[in-house]
Amino acid sequence: MSNQVYGPLGPKSIRLLSIVPGFASETINCSLTVVDDRDQAPEYDAISYVWGSNLSDEPITCNGQRMVVTENLIEAMRYLRPLPSWDSVITWPENHPLHSSHNVWRGFATNRQEEREHSASQQQRPIWIDALCINQLDKAEKENQVKLMDRIYANATTVKIWLGGARSFQMYGRMPVVLAFVAQALRNVRAGEDYPTAARAATDATYRNSVHGFPIATAEEWKVLYDFFDNPWFERIWVVQEVVHAKQAIAILGDWHVELAALGEAARWFQAHGFGLPSNVKYTGDTKDLLPVAKLAAMWQMHCTPGKRSPLLQMLRDLRGRKSTLKVDKVYAAYSLAEETAETEKLNPLIEPTYDHELVNEVYQNMVRFLVINHGNLAALSHAGGIQGVKTLDQLPSWVPDWSQGKESVELIDGSQDDTPYNADGGENLVIGDSIDPRCFSVKGIRIPTRVIRAYGDRLISYGFRHTTYKEERDFVKSAWSLIAHLANKGNSIRGERLEMYQPENIPRTFVSTLTAGLTNIRKPVDEDPGFLDDAANWMSKQFGGRIPVSGISKKPKWQTALWNSSNSGRFHETFTRVCLHRRFFITTENLMGIGPETMEKDDIIVILFGGKVPYVVRELGENEYSFIGECYVPGLMFGEAVKQWRESGRKANFFNLV
């Protein structure tokens, strides 16, 4: 890019782009203007789009200089620039069959051909486009502008979302189908839950679709809607802040303009009523009426709660499944949405944005150090740990989450430890040790004698939704029970002593607690929710008959077991598949049961690290170095039991050097 296009830019300055009117066949001609203070800028719009990697064969002219941009951007600029205000511009008459005035999408969607002026694509205002308004060859400018992007999008009059041109979607034959589906979903939103859905709608797809006003699951129209929501834009990471901070947002697909509010509300409705694909599972089956709307639904939910920020760790988790060109952007895109980074102009030195190639590899590990120091706990470690068969980024240290990769297993500790249901460290304060190696993280804790992984089962890979029990789920539970069935035999003991939860009569209930990490689907302790335990007993009985005893799970008298058939909540099934996904069930040398990382191996050890509310699995490498494998749930270790024994023993705690 020519230096004649870009001059110096102040710390609060932005550039705005003006596009000269023209027909689609004409070369793009535009100009950049510097605004010294972004908060004093004139009215402007901002574009949200997928950059793409293919460069256009046709250059544009900017400030009199020829520039090369991507194919996707030049196509967007052709559709966004104003048409000439001449009579030669042909528009639709009002009686055109697709005119919004007499279709179900009136009020939230229009077509560019309906009017010559005042259309959403008639870009009269200047526009902000990152690829052109930021000098991409100036590293320092990029780092500063990244910290301003939330304000840039928040100050824009309209955020215009470019989903592609006519070639990306057969618009005239397919887009009306999409709009009809969206219109019906919005009708359902307005109707609330007063129409008869009942429990049957959750298990009977034909009935559910009919009740909600949609075609049967095998109808070809569902594939049209699927293709629309499968647009790459919905997957990108930067678009989240662009939408969340927008005053108004319009999606543009060729000549069609759709209010994002309509798409967002429809996506939330589809997700809430069983039409959404699970967000954290790679589903390879026949989608039929299942839609990839989870990311849009979550994004729109954030937009509808303005001013509410989430913990940074939670945002990093929520965004890691999205796509970005640069790995560091998986971190930077979370800044404008998180509590700890509300003031992006005064960031902690550990998390200052950098695009310096020599420092980029330290971004992820510096983020972990920041989170640990800032919060005084080890919640960030719950997001680390290997993913079976996936190579981590640039050989990251084992204790650093690879946020460039999606993670299908959920964390036992979520965004923060402020309201954690566990207390494995018994309230011991975090103590970080010294290490001259920046790739080493040294933390104080205790190694629990004889708590070594003795055996484990295969990892759970399943879909876990729509009240369907898959063979993989049955096999997982069956395999897990085979490891601990002997503990349910009366007369068994652990060194003559046994925690109450490991008494033979309590083993089935402890088994259920392990499979759900001790919590119900609403994160309530399982022992405090008899209905949940009844559901667990019901599911076990249906799937395994008497091979797994249910008498120790539910407290219902035997004569009441027939009533189980009247319950079909599936709460246990939903919870256990979510918790155990991509985890393994294991048993220790001392016959404690647990669930842990999919990358665990025999003879891995369980430790309690101070500042960590769950136990961790580590692998001894020698010379007091350990590889961090991941968090785990072990009944009998979750509430400071091991720490209490350690205090009574008088033993010293150790520093564990994680590498």
- Report pLDDT digits (tens) over 426-467: 999 999 999 889 899 999 999 987 789 999 999 998 766 667
Q: Which of 485, 486, 508, 450 is nearest to 637 (CA)?
A: 450
SS3 309: coil
pLDDT for 600: 96
SS3 string, 510-523, reads: HHHHHHCCCECCCC
pLDDT for 390: 66
Q: With 90 as the cut, is the pLDDT of residue 361 above it?
A: no
For the segment 139-163, the average pLDDT, to the nearest whole number, is: 94
Q: Which two tokens stand for residue 9?
A: 């830019």
Q: With 70 as the cut, is the pLDDT of residue 198 above it?
A: no
Evaluate the CA torsion angle 236, 237, 240, 245 in order and state its sign.
negative
Q: Which residues contact 569 (CB under 8 A, 6 or more apart)?
A: 531, 535
Least reliable range by pLDDT among 222-236, 396-410, 595-609:
396-410
Q: With 80 as the cut, is the pLDDT of residue 85 above it?
A: no
pLDDT for 278: 76
Q: With 70 as the cut, is the pLDDT of residue 306 above it?
A: yes
pLDDT band, very low/low/confident/very high, at 496 (cuts 50, 70, 90): very low
Q: Give the phi and the psi of residue 429 in degrees, each rounded to 5.
A: -75, 145
Q: How many Å apart are CA 164 and CA 49, to the nearest integer?
A: 9
Least reliable range by pLDDT among 181-195, 561-575, 618-632:
561-575
Residue type, 201: A
pLDDT for 274: 85
How far, in whole angstroms, is CA 101 from its chain's centroid? 38
DSSP codes, 385-453? S--TT-PPGGG--TTS--TTS---SPPSS-S-STT-S--TTTTPPP-BPP-S-TT-EEEEEEEEEEEEE
For the segment 364-370, the average pLDDT, to the nearest whole number, is: 96
Q: With 80 as the cut, is the pLDDT of residue 596 above it?
A: yes
For the segment 402-424, the average pLDDT, to the nearest whole number, is: 83
Q: Do the beta carbons of residue 301 and residue 276 sit within 8 Å?
A: no
**Torsion angle of C-alpha atoms 579, 580, 581, 585, degrees rounded to 10:** 160
Burial class (CB in 10 A: 0-12, 13-18, 19+), 589: middle
pLDDT band, very low/low/confident/very high, at 166 (cuts 50, 70, 90): low
Least reliable range by pLDDT among 313-322, 391-400, 440-449:
391-400
Q: Give the phi and the psi of residue 291 in degrees, each rounded to 5.
A: -120, 145
Distance from first CA to last CA of the chain, Å, rounded?
Answer: 42
pLDDT for 13: 95
Q: Do the beta carbons of residue 253 and residue 168 sit within 8 Å?
A: yes
Least reliable range by pLDDT among 209-223, 318-332, 383-397, 417-431:
383-397
For the segment 519-533, the average pLDDT, to the nearest whole number, is: 91
Q: With 70 as the cut, is the pLDDT of residue 504 above it?
A: yes
Query: Among residues of the chain, what percentage have pLDDT more than 90?
Result: 66
Q: With 50 as the cut, is the pLDDT of residue 564 above it?
A: no
pTM: 0.89
What is the per-residue pLDDT across 117-145, written as a single tens digit (0 to 9) for each?
Answer: 544 455 679 999 999 999 999 999 999 99
The residues with which 48 forms a beta bridge, in sequence order, are 161
Q: With 80 as the cut, is the pLDDT of residue 282 above it?
A: no
Buried b (16+ CB within 10 A) or exposed e, 395-426: ebbbbbbbbbeebbbbbbbbbbbeebbbbbbb
Q: With 50 as the cut, is the pLDDT of residue 563 above it?
A: no
SS3 617: strand
Q: Which of 526, 533, 589 is nearest to 561 (CA)?
A: 533
Q: With 80 as the cut, is the pLDDT of residue 507 above it?
A: yes
For the segment 83-95, the average pLDDT, to the nearest whole number, is: 73
pLDDT for 358: 77
**Torsion angle of C-alpha atoms 34, 40, 41, 45, degrees rounded to 10:** 140
Q: Do the beta carbons of residue 207 and residue 116 sit within 8 Å?
A: no
Give, in degrees to the nearest 5, the angle at Cα 69 between 66 and 72.
145
Q: Where are the beta strands (DSSP E) in 248-352?
A: 249-253, 256-259
Query: Among residues of the chain, what percentage have pLDDT more than 70?
Result: 88
pLDDT for 142: 92
pLDDT band, very low/low/confident/very high, at 468 (cuts 50, 70, 90): confident
The residues with which 453 forms a beta bridge, in sequence order, are 588
Q: With 50 as the cut, is the pLDDT of residue 2 above it?
A: no
For the segment 546-558, the average pLDDT, to the nearest whole number, is: 76
Q: Where are the beta strands (DSSP E) in 598-650?
A: 605-609, 616-622, 625-631
For the segment 224-232, the average pLDDT, to the nearest whole number, is: 95
Q: Which DSSP letter does residue 247 get?
A: S
Q: With 80 as the cut, is the pLDDT of residue 388 above it?
A: no
What is the per-residue pLDDT across 14-52, written as a single tens digit (0 to 9) for each?
Answer: 999 999 988 778 899 999 999 999 989 999 999 999 988
More confident of the two residues 391 and 386: 386
Q: Do the beta carbons of residue 117 and residue 85 sit within 8 Å?
A: yes
Q: Do the beta carbons of residue 265 and residue 300 sit within 8 Å?
A: yes
pLDDT band, very low/low/confident/very high, at 88 (cuts 50, 70, 90): low
pLDDT for 200: 60
What is the per-residue pLDDT across 49-62, written as a single tens digit (0 to 9) for each?
Answer: 998 889 999 999 99
